[in-house]
């Protein structure tokens, strides 16, 4: 099935990638600036808040939090909130004043 899609010129993305594509269908580049909402979610992630807590604090759905979290991890790199904090500071995506 995947082979047929690729040979037919269709895009194929591994499982989970489709949820982080932007409106143009491309994957955001690592180092791309965080949006205002992503920055809000980011700050709560590095403060060790879980998805449900973040959703309640920001008055958004857990699904929306999950979407923002995926984009944040793609933009910042890493797998844990500690990685997010370190990489965000190193790459200049956030500053100490943002925290």
Question: Which tens digits make up the pLDDT trace of 1-52?
Answer: 444 555 555 554 444 444 444 555 555 555 577 888 988 898 888 888 999 9
Half-sphere exposure in the Cβ direction for 29 (13 Å, CA): 4
Domain total of the chain:
1
Q: DSSP character for 77?
A: -
Question: According to the model, what pLDDT value does residue 56 have?
Answer: 96
In a domain, 71, yes or no: yes
Which of residues 7 and 54 earns the better pLDDT score? Answer: 54
Q: Is a pLDDT exceeding 90 seen at residue 62?
A: yes
Residues spanned by the domain of 40: 29-98
**pTM for the full model?**
0.63
Task: Return the CATH number at 90.
Answer: 1.10.10.10
Give the integer Cα–Cα distance in Å for 60 and 27: 23
Question: Which tens digits make up the pLDDT trace of 63-87?
Answer: 999 999 988 888 877 777 778 778 7
In a domain, 77, yes or no: yes
Q: Is a pLDDT exceeding 60 seen at residue 92?
A: yes
């Amino acid at each position: 099935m995947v082979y047929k899609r690729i040979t037919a010129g269709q895009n194929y993305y591994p499982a989970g990638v489709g949820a982080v594509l932007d409106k143009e269908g491309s994957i955001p580049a690592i180092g791309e600036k965080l949006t205002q909402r992503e920055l809000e979610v980011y700050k709560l992630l590095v403060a060790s808040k879980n998805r449900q807590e973040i959703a309640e604090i920001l008055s958004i759905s857990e699904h929306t939090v999950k979407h923002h979290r995926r984009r944040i991890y793609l933009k910042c790199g890493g797998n844990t909130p500690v990685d997010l904090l370190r990489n965000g500071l190193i790459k200049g995506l956030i500053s100490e004043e943002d925290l």
